Amino acid sequence: METDYRQVAQLIKEQGNVVAFTGAGISVESGIPAFRGGQGLWEKYDPMEYADIRAFLRSPEKVWTMLREMGDVILRAEPSPAHKALGVLEKAGLLNAVITQNVDGLHQMAGNTNVIEYHGNHRRLVCPGCSYTGPFTEESMQVLPYPVCARCQRALKPDVVFFGEQIPVSASARAGIEAAACKVMIIVGTSGAVYPAADIPFTASEKGATIVEINVSPTPFTSSITNYFVEGSASTILPRILNELGLDLA
């Protein structure tokens, strides 16, 4: 059902303990393609061939062709007005945490300090063999066919959760705690297609949180747990909610 900005702003102000749960849709205006629908990344690359850990270990050279494309877009991306709005909400003491499925690091660039990276971060490299870690840089993308571990010579990968890998234990635990404790969860730009991440809003709802959803189209959350559905682009809607709270992006 439709709702207006005033009701959502009122909720954020009155209820307190607000947590945001974000997906690729919040980074679309930063130039990073979403995964599903329209120009989604998975329309171009089969995730089972390019985003599964077994495919990576079998042929790192092939997977790195996609990783270089993603890395190039991510390293050049800037926070969207939606990311910046969440940063302002935290500064104003109106947002406790951001649980993100995204790996682009844009929430931290927008000023959020309590960011739970449920699927890791593409700006770090990790060795699946000896767990060496280092920065993912422009230079990393120049090393062909792929960067290798200085310690054990295995193919390095971005520190992101591939299909078939476990969610980082600390991220999983922190997300569970925040979801269970929050009074309001604002779901921004996610299709709710991937588990266990998509369990997070259900946990919040079961524990009594009010669910606000911002998306350009309905999702499985909308017809089940969403209390307030605000249709539209995150970079239009979140700044509008900020204005209702007497705050602005500047």
Q: Which residues bind ligand APR (CB under 6 A)?
A: 23-25, 28-29, 34-37, 40, 47, 101, 119, 189-191, 193-194, 214-217, 219, 233-234
CB of 60 to ligand APR, least distance (A): 19
CB of 100 to ligand APR, least distance (A): 8
Output the CA–CA distances (angstroms, integers) from residue 21 to 103, 117, 199, 221, in the order listed: 13, 11, 11, 12
CA nearest to 129, candidates 64, 60, 75, 191: 60
CB 239 within 8 A of CB 81: yes
Q: Output DSSP code: residue 17.
A: -
CB 157 within 8 A of CB 129: no
Angle at 9 between CA 8 and CA 11, to 5 degrees: 65
CA nearest to 86, candidates 214, 239, 246, 245: 239
Catalytic residue check, 119:
yes
Q: Which is nearer to ligand APR, 12 or 149 (CB)?
A: 12
Q: Which is nearer to ligand APR, 149 or 212 (CB)?
A: 212
CB of 237 to ligand APR, least distance (A): 8
Q: Which is nearer to ligand APR, 102 or 149 (CB)?
A: 102
CB 100 within 8 A of CB 116: yes
CB of 40 to ligand APR, least distance (A): 5
Q: Which is nearer to ligand APR, 149 or 174 (CB)?
A: 174
> Which residues are identified as catalytic?
119
